[in-house]
Chain A
Amino acid sequence: MTRVASFEINFTRYLDANGDVIGKMPEFARDPADLIPLYRDMVLTRLFDNQAVNLQRTGRLGTYASSEGQEASIAGIGRAMRCEDVLFPTYREHGIYLARGVTMTEMLLYWGGNESGMNFANVKDDFPVSIPIATQVTHAAGAAYAFLYRKQARVAVPVCGDGATSKGDFYEGLNASGVWNLPCVFAVINNQWAISLPRSRQSACETLAQKAIAAGIRGEQVDGNDVIAVYDRFLAALDQARSGGGPTLIELLTYRMRDHTTADDASRYRSDDEVVRQRALDPIKRLKTYLIGQGAWDDRQDEALHTGFQAEVDASVKEYLDTPARAPHTIFDCLYETLPRAYVGQMDTLRVRDEAGDG
C-alpha cells in the first residue's frame, strides 16, 4: 500500500484568552490603535444584540437569534470584506451586516416581521439571511461564477455554522468552488452547538476545516474569539480569491453564549459549567485587555464608546417601533416584477383591508 494523499490543517491565534500575545503580531496589528475599529464593531454588535433580545423578551420583536460570544468572528469577517464583495449569511451574523452598511433599523424591521428590513438602502448585492441551513453556500458559488465570467475582482462569502457542514448543499457548493477555482471564502462559524446537537455529534471529523480537503480546496482553522486572527486570515483568503488564487474554507472556533434563538432553552441540553468556562474566553474582553495593556485604550474611552453606541441603538429601536406595518395589499407587490392578471383579484380584496387600516 502506498500513500496517495495526505493533508494538514493549520490553526491561527494571535491573542490568547488573557489578552496576551502569542508569537508575532501580523503587520496590520503592529500599532494597537489600528485595532480599535475592530473593537468598536464588536461592542456595537453586542449592544445591538442585547437590545434585540430585550425587545423580544418584552414582546416588541419576533423570535431572534443572538450572536453573543461570536463578535470576533463576525467583526473580523465584516472588516476584511470589501464593499464590492458579496455576503451570503445565515441568521446570526448581524454584525457582518452592520459592517457592510445595513442599518440596525433594517435588521430590527426584519426580525420584527417586516420584509422591508431586507431591502437594504445602502447595500446592493448582499443576500438576505438564509434560514434553510447551508442553502446559501450554493448561491455564493453561483455569484462567484458570475464574477469569474465577468472578470470582476470580487469575492463571494458564504457564512454558515457547524451544523451546516453536515448538509449536502454545503459540500455541493464547496465542491463546485474547487471545480471552477471560484472566488469564494467559506466561513464556518463553529459555535459548538447546532440547537441541541454538540459539535462532537455533528461529525467524526477532527476539524470541520478539513472538509475542504475532500473538495480539493484549502481549509484552515482560526480562533474565532481572537478578532486579530480572524481578520488576518480572512484578509489573506479574500486577497487570494480576488486575485485568481481560488477558494478557501475557514473554520472559526467560537461559542454561542445564549440560546439558539429566543424560542430555545439551552439549559435543556448543556451545562451551566460549560457556559461559565466559555465566558472566560470572551472575545471583547480579550481585545480590551490587550488594548488597555498597550496603552491604546482606557476605561473612560470605553464608557464613552458604550454610551454613544447605546444612544445609536436606542435611536434605531425608536425608528423601528415608529415604522408602521405595510399595507395589506403589499404582500403581492414584490411577488413578480409585474403581478400577473391571475392574482390581481386577490390583491384587490386586500385593498379593502388597506382602507380599513388592517396593517
Chain B
Amino acid sequence: MAELTLLDAVNQALAHALAADENVVLLGEDIGVNGGVFRATDGLQDRFGVDRVIDTPLAESLIAGMSIGMAAQGLRPVAEIQFMGFIYPAMDQILNHASRLRTRTRGRLSCPLVMRAPFGGGIHAPEHHSESTESMFAHIPGLRVVIPSSPARAYGLLLASIRDPDPVIFLEPKRVYRMLKQEVTDNGEALPLDVCFTVRQGGDITVVSWGAMMHEVMLAAEQMEGEGVDCEIIDVASIKPLDMETILESVGRTGRCVIVHEAARTAGFGAEIAANLAERGLMSLFAPVARVTGYDTVMPLHQLEQVYMPSPETICAAIRKTMAYA
C-alpha cells in the first residue's frame, strides 16, 4: 500500500494495464518522452517502449480515429487528450464512429477504447483549459462517461474502463491531480462501472456530485453537520450509464436532494438527475430538488474562476434552503 495522488494512481493503473495485456497501447500528444503535460504517463515509455506509449502528431481527430481503427483490430488503445478543451476536433470520431461501431455492424466490430482527458477549473489555467462539458458526452448513446473523484477511484475505475469492451470517456478532475494523497493498493483490482458510490451516509438530505466538486461537497457536509444536518453524499462516478437506483433509494429515505456540478447549468448533467427524480421519486420529496452549478456563461479566465465555481458556501446555502421546507 502506498500513498498516491490521483495523478500517481492514473499512472499506476496505466502501468498495470500495460504490463498485464500486450494489447494495451497508449497514444496522445507529449505522452511519451515528456510523460504527458501533467506527467500522467511519466516513465511509461521507458518501461514499455515507443511502440506502446506513442507520441502522436498534434491532431486530436487522428488520435480518436486511430484509436477506433486500433480497437476494431483488437488492441485496447488508451488515448490521452491533453485538455478537455481540445477534445472537440475528436467529437466527430467519438459521436459518429466510436460510440456506434458495434451498433452499425450489429456486433461484428467493436470499439474498446478509452479517451482520457483532464477537465474542470480551479488551477489558474489559460483560456480553454478549464471547462466541464461532460453532459455533451453523456448525451451520446453507446458511450460510457466515467469521472473519478479520488486516487483510489481513479485507479480502480481506469482499470475497469480499459477492460470494458465498449468506448469510455474518462474525465480526470485535474484540480484533484495533486490535491491529496490516499492509500492505493496496486493490486490490479477494478472498481465497478455504471454504479454510484455512497461516500457518506446520512439521513437528512442527499447531496449528489462527481469529480472535483466532491471535495467541496464533503467540506459542506462537515459544516452542515455542525448545524445539525446529516448529509448523505453520493459520488456518481459513472455519469453514463447513470445508476439512478442508488440515488432514488437514498432520496427515498431523505426526501431531499441537492445536485452539485461545476459545469454550466442549462442541460448540465444535474438536469438529467433532477428529471429522473421528478419522474420516479416525486412522491418521496419534501422539498424541490436543488442544483448548485456553474453559471450559464463562458468559463471566465482565472481571475474570476472562483466566482464561477460552486463552493462549500454556495452548497451549504442550497442545503439550508432545501432543509427549510417542512
Q: Check if B215 is an interface residue, CB within 8 A of chain A.
A: no
How many A-B pairs have beta carbons closer than 8 Å: the answer is 140
| B194, A135: Cβ atoms closer than 8 Å | no
Residues on the A chain within 8 Å of B68, using CB? 138-139, 142
- Which of A14-22, A55-63, A169-177, A259-267 forms part of the interface with chain B? A169-177
- Segment of A89-97, A112-120, A200-208 in the binding face: A112-120
- Asked if B187 is at the interface of the complex by the 8 Å CB criterion, the answer is no
Q: Which residue of A lies closest to B243 (CB)?
A: A342
Is B166 touching A142 in the complex (CB atoms < 8 A)?
no
Q: How far is the CA of A127 from the CA of B69 in the complex (A)?
A: 9
Q: Residue A341 at the B interface, CB < 8 A?
A: yes
CB-CB nearest in chain B for A120: B108
B93 CB–A CB distance under 8 Å: yes
Say yes or no: is B203 at the interface (Cβ < 8 Å to chain A): no
Shortest distance between the CB of B264 and any CB in chain A (Å): 24
Given contacts A115-B105, A142-B68, contact A337 B62 (CB under 8 A): no
Q: In the docked arrangement, what's the CA distance between A86 and B106, Å?
A: 18
Contact of A143 among B54, B70, B194 (CB under 8 A): B70
Q: Tell which of B54, B101, B244 touches A342, judged by Cβ atoms closer than 8 Å.
A: B244
Known: A139-B97, A172-B59. A334 touches B242 (CB 8 A): no
* A138: contacting residue among B25, B65, B74, CB under 8 A: B65
- The answer, yes or no, to whether B103 is at the interface (CB within 8 Å) is yes
Contact assessment for A138 and B57 in the assembled complex, using a CB-CB cutoff below 8 Å: no
- Interface set, chain A 293-344, CB cutoff 8 A to B: 331, 334-337, 340-343
Question: In the bound complex, how far is the Cα of B245 from the Cα of A169, in angstroms?
Answer: 41
Interface string of B309-324 (1 = CB under 8 A from A): 0000000000000000
B92 lies within 8 A of A142 (CB): no
Does B265 interact with chain A (Cβ within 8 Å)?
no
The answer, yes or no, to whether B77 is at the interface (CB within 8 Å) is: yes
Select one of A127, A168, A175 contacting B72, CB under 8 A.
A127
User: CA–CA, A118 to B66, complex, Å?
Assistant: 21
Find chain B residues with CB under 8 A from A146 CB: 69-70, 73-75
In the bound complex, CA of A273 to CA of B231 (Å): 78
Q: How far is the CB of B245 from chain A (nearest CB, A)?
A: 8
Q: Please determine whether B70 and A172 come into contact, CB atoms closer than 8 angstroms.
A: no
Instruction: Kindly supply a per-residue 1/0 record for chain B positions 92-122, scoring 1 wherever the CB is within 8 Å of any chain A CB and 0 otherwise.
Output: 1100110001111111111000000000000
For residue A343, which residues in chain B have a CB less than 8 angstroms away from its CB? 241
Instruction: List the A residue with the shortest CB-CB distance to B77.
Output: A142
In angstroms, Cα B25 to Cα A337, docked, is: 21
CA distance A144 to B75 in the complex (A): 12
Asked if A23 is an interface residue, CB under 8 A from chain B, the answer is no
B141 contacts chain A at the CB level, 8 A cutoff: yes
Determine if A118 and B65 form an interchain contact, defined as CB atoms under 8 angstroms apart.
no
Q: Give a binary string over B50-80; 1 marks a CB under 8 Å from any A CB, 0 the rest.
A: 0110101101011011111111111101000
| Residues on A with beta carbons closer than 8 Å to the beta carbon of B188 | none
CB pair B141 A115 closer than 8 Å: no
Contacts of A168 in B (CB 8 A): 59, 61, 89
Looking at A125, A145, A341, the one whose CB has the most chain B CB atoms below 10 A away is: A145
Bound state CA distance, A145 and B93, in angstroms? 18
| CB pair A138 B166 closer than 8 Å | no
B142 within 8 A of A: yes
| Nearest CB of chain B from residue A172's CB, rounded to whole Å | 4
A334 CB contacts on chain B under 8 angstroms: 102-103, 105-107
| CB under 8 Å from chain A, chain B span 185-230 | 194
Asked whether B56 lies within 8 Å of A176 as measured between CB atoms, the reply is yes
| 8 Å CB interface, B3-36 against A | 25
A172-B65 contact given A179-B57, A342-B194, A342-B241, CB 8 Å threshold: yes
Residues in A with CB closer than 8 Å to B57 are 172, 175-176, 179
A-side contacts of B194, CB under 8 Å = 340-342
Q: Is A128 positioned at the interface, with any CB of B under 8 Å from its CB?
A: yes
Q: Closest approach, in angstroms, between the C-beta of A242 and any C-beta of chain B?
A: 16
- When the two chains form their complex, are residues A143 and B69 in contact, meaning their CB atoms are under 8 A apart? yes
Is there contact, CB below 8 Å, between A172 and B61?
yes
Please, which residues of chain B bring their CB within 8 A of the CB of A335?
102-103, 141-142
Interface residues of A in 233-267 (CB under 8 A from B): none
Contact residues of A between 101 and 155, Cβ < 8 Å to B? 115-116, 118-120, 124-125, 127-128, 130-132, 135, 137-147, 149
- Contact call A169/B106, Cβ cutoff below 8 A: no
Asked if A77 CB lies within 8 Å of chain B CBs, one says no
Question: Apart from A125-B72, A341-B241, what 20 extra A-B contacts exist at CB < 8 Å?
Answer: A115-B106, A125-B73, A128-B101, A132-B96, A132-B97, A135-B92, A135-B93, A138-B61, A142-B69, A143-B72, A146-B74, A149-B52, A149-B75, A169-B62, A173-B65, A176-B59, A335-B102, A336-B165, A337-B102, A342-B241
8 contacts between A and B (CB under 8 A): A128-B101, A142-B77, A169-B92, A176-B56, A337-B102, A337-B166, A341-B245, A342-B243
Across the A-B interface, the 7 shortest Cβ-Cβ residue pairs? A138-B65, A142-B69, A142-B66, A342-B241, A119-B106, A340-B241, A172-B62
